[in-house]
Structure 1
């Protein structure tokens, strides 16, 4: 479903009513009537296609990774209040629905409910329609999936939310209270089960399939089984409505079993596989394979894709990952730059931890690392693409330069890709790193926008969900089997057979972090695992100095921006506008 374009204007307002004035009953010539839309399969499909446009994607100028311990928003586009726990019901910073920066509008409460309303309008009209073709049935399955997706996002951000399953009219009571977290999960799962029963097992991966529905069920049940939603409000102080922010009955073990079953249902479909298989044969092959995983229009690992929306393609802030995140020495902007914390979490290629206190590793920190490091990160000395014409003379080989070079007189010349360099010096990374993942090196991103799809979901996540559920159930041997599938594809050794307990859990969590970096997961993971107070610390980077006459630099870690954590940040606040509109809403704890 490339380049979705809205081809209809839909009006869902009340029609004019007149007793005698027939001239008022004229059918408009510039739009389709409500009745016409719901009798025309082509218009119905166009309507559903428009709902897909609300799915969040990670190619914006500020990524969700920048609100975690994986990346840094270079320009501080109102993201700092998030990572400093400074937002409140009157000020959600970049999460605000009307924020000038569009990066997170599809995560906002009003927009998510707008999309849910569109789903409900479709479902209400199709329930009363005489159209019964297989295509219409499939569209109903897609809309059930989409409603579940939007509710899943709301619940992951806010906990229990108002459950609205019909399009409100002026006669309805609009003051819907929040449902319990448990009821929200049940609602989402039912929509996904109903969708999976209707949807084809495979097909166009830009539209929901049975696999996508079961995959989202795997994700939301994995989230729901996690510590945050099973803590009975232990992170709050005297909050009286714990049923809104997690489970208050049943057992976490039951929920891990449900998550495991959901993930196994996807695996048992037998239609997905890891891209490139699980035996790359060499480190170079593993690097190349992981790069190519994201530089195509679909492969056997993909479960749901979102293609670039060309409606606003000429706007400066429309999806453009190469320009937004590439090195400033290529006339790119260096946004959402990897943090030192993420870079340091990549293991050595023998499976041991990287450690700046290890003198051998500190001398050459970018050698002998996990192959995914080279596929995901641009670091000082990395070979990248050819420089633009006006920079080529200064670097004919296309080598990333984030260090400083000492001169004979003791002064320093900054590298081309530093913030002090001669090119785009108002951009550039503070951390000394840039993103390699997702970026097509064959394109000059200064002028050309790549149109590769965003992976909403891929099979590797399902395998990790299954492994996590196994760990939650104490089934460590089985968990290792699935973790090792991911590691083997990446060219990494198996988890040691002797590893167990919290050490194994920590290994798994790091594996998930590396495999799914920049894929809109880490923001939620550090919260649902309740590790945010320990990991959302001051943002780190690296200082690289080349002594005069030497090609071997020295490295030191640095702090580049302050961050802080308050427990209220496990969930977002409901905006004050929503609270004012609906007296039955209860605010989240801490706000």
Structure 2
């Protein structure tokens, strides 16, 4: 097949981006080339691997996984209420079609398999490049399989690229244990081939520690309650017996291998814990980042700020934090927030865990300068999600003004929050998101998660002093008091789970954590809560009152049933492969 002139542009762009030290992992130049072209040209082989990176779904999409949990609510729906109200079925899994993506991940897996079948034929002049691409593809195959298994349990393990004439292309589900071993082995293979650091044009590619971080995460999941339920008889749904202590030990050791490497640390660029937590997600290549996806404003930037910013700034206010999540933030002294406490109820946003201020935009929170049509109404630049009395001298009467960031805003009366909050985390305060895209990286893996993985495994193994030490590293970086030595047993478990929930908030952990701890039937069931704020004008001061309400838009109560601990395999996949067995309850 001859290369046509019109197809040269993608290749030229590919090399230009590499020369300019740009992230070109999003480019897809292979559509114009034959199979023979790809495996006869090392550059096209590398482009083939680049394309597989683009199949890794980052978290800056319009619908965030947090809106399928008790963290947030997506105000535009897009199937999210179907996923949270218990209406999922094999015929329609609602918004989870955007996340689990069974078919998409198996397509990516087929490409990894094809790579391994062909890589030996490619005429590389530098064998180190062949080996590095091997390592990257082992990592990618492990990642795609881990995505499938954490949603569905054991899935068919396919390690060859089937053709249309292959008679053995239909396979039953592998056991969960087989899947865990396969993914862990793939991570080990990746780590063997990959460098510790990727630099220059290779920034954003997998490293040895990206592979080890994936192994740490998945072995922790595998050791958790969800996949070790008593009475499990179908080995695709989880372990059937066996040595759980050994599983926790593997999870602990996988995390400790990264800790012992001394290659990473918790990021603390200033003495201000709010600033430190904010900058983890803003500052590129900081010491906490293990594996990230880079964006470039000139090419394919991220619209996260536009998707989630307040409507009073002409943004879309998409994934709004729920009061269910906000009320859980501790006070700065480590005690629980208690709305029945008059002092807490009167000033609920004063004296909270510093991560609250770096994660949530609440009524009165300082933010950025308004657009020209709003700066006269708000010269200070702070969030307005309440209703406020003011004195109209011309009418000699008290009137009520709705906040600029409400659904009754005088700037935009759509895209407003239903909960009284907006997301602050990952938001670039210097960006005018109405017109421009951002370039902050998405962190697939960061060091704080590894420390928490290690602490959780230590707790499970009865090593409470060790666990407390690593939990306290996270807490003190956040400006919170360290746990005392008297915090043991269930209290330590609860303290750990608090730390994981609020340190890793909105990073696509809560959905999986609540499931693997078997608490989702409680945590994800019940009303989605909001806050209603009213500012009453008095003789000498304004009195704010806070009323806790249920989201009026959630017609049906949120409902997470036991069967939802595993997603249903979609009906079209069941029809394609008659050997598949459905998950229980569907």
Deviation at 1:451, TM superposition (A): 1.7
CA distance in 2, matches of 1:172, 1:347: 58
CA distance in 1, matches of 2:227, 2:26: 39
Superimposed CA distance per residue, residues 353-372 of structure 1 (whole angstroms, 9 cap, x where no aligned partner): 11111111111111111111
Deviation at 1:232, TM superposition (A): 3.7
Structure-2 residue corresponding to 1:2: 23
CA distance in 2, matches of 1:225, 1:207: 28
Deviation at 1:32, TM superposition (A): 3.1
Q: Does 1:247 align with 2:230?
A: no
Structure-2 residue corresponding to 1:427: 415
Superimposed CA distance per residue, residues 432-482 of structure 1 (whole angstroms, 9 cap, x where no aligned partner): 111111111101111111121111110110000000001111111110000
Structure-2 residue corresponding to 1:224: 222
Change (3 A) 1:3 1:431: farther
Structure-2 residue corresponding to 1:114: 107
Deviation at 1:406, TM superposition (A): 2.9
Structure 1 vs Structure 2 CA RMSD: 1.8
Structure-2 residue corresponding to 1:554: 545
Match runs of 1:76-95 below 5 Å: 76-95=77-96
CA distance in 2, matches of 1:410, 1:532: 46
Determine which of 262, 285, 291 is the counterpart of 1:298.
285
Deviation at 1:8, TM superposition (A): 2.4
Structure-2 residue corresponding to 1:341: 324
Superimposed CA distance per residue, residues 170-205 of structure 1 (whole angstroms, 9 cap, x where no aligned partner): 224121110000000000001000111111112245
What is the SS of the residue equivalent to 1:381? coil
Structure-2 residue corresponding to 1:274: 266
CA distance in 1, matches of 2:26, 2:219: 33
Q: Does 1:144 align with 2:144?
A: no
Say if 1:377 and 1:433, in contact at 8 Å, map to a contact too.
yes
Determine which of 121, 126, 130 is the counterpart of 2:119.
126
CA distance in 1, matches of 2:426, 2:40: 41
- Which range moved further: 321-330 or 544-553? 544-553
Say if 1:256 and 1:472, in contact at 8 Å, map to a contact too.
yes
Change (3 A) 1:288 1:312: closer
Determine which of 494, 519, 531 is the counterpart of 2:482.
494
- Which range moved further: 197-206 or 356-365? 197-206
Structure-1 residue corresponding to 2:50: 49
What is the SS of the residue equivalent to 2:543? coil
CA distance in 2, matches of 1:177, 1:410: 70
Deviation at 1:407, TM superposition (A): 5.0
Q: What TM-score do you get using the length of structure 2 for normalisation?
A: 0.90
Deviation at 1:270, TM superposition (A): 1.3
Deviation at 1:346, TM superposition (A): 1.3
Say if 1:233 and 1:246, in contact at 8 Å, map to a contact too.
no
Q: Does 1:538 align with 2:540?
A: no
Structure-2 residue corresponding to 1:286: 273
Deviation at 1:519, TM superposition (A): 0.4
CA distance in 2, matches of 1:249, 1:436: 44
What is the SS of the residue equivalent to 2:546? strand
Match runs of 1:122-521 below 5 Å: 122-129=115-122, 131=124, 133-169=127-163, 170-204=165-199, 205-232=203-230, 242-276=234-268, 281=271, 285-308=272-295, 313=300, 319-407=302-390, 412-521=400-509
Say if 1:418 and 1:429, in contact at 8 Å, map to a contact too.
yes
What is the SS of the residue equivalent to 1:463? helix
What is the SS of the residue equivalent to 2:502? helix
Deviation at 1:310, TM superposition (A): 7.9
> What stretches of structure 2 of length at least 5 have no aligned partner?
1-21, 392-396
- Which range moved further: 204-213 or 137-146? 204-213
Deviation at 1:296, TM superposition (A): 2.3
CA distance in 1, matches of 2:314, 2:494: 39
Say if 1:333 and 1:424, in contact at 8 Å, map to a contact too.
no
Superimposed CA distance per residue, residues 43-94 of structure 1 (whole angstroms, 9 cap, x where no aligned partner): 1111101000011111111100110111111111210111112110111112
CA distance in 1, matches of 2:501, 2:399: 39
Structure-1 residue corresponding to 2:34: 33
Structure-2 residue corresponding to 1:71: 72
Say if 2:475 and 2:481, in contact at 8 Å, map to a contact too.
yes
Say if 2:26 and 2:54, in contact at 8 Å, map to a contact too.
no
What is the SS of the residue equivalent to 1:304? strand
Change (3 A) 1:157 1:5: closer
CA distance in 2, matches of 1:387, 1:311: 24
Change (3 A) 1:312 1:582: farther
CA distance in 1, matches of 2:36, 2:121: 11
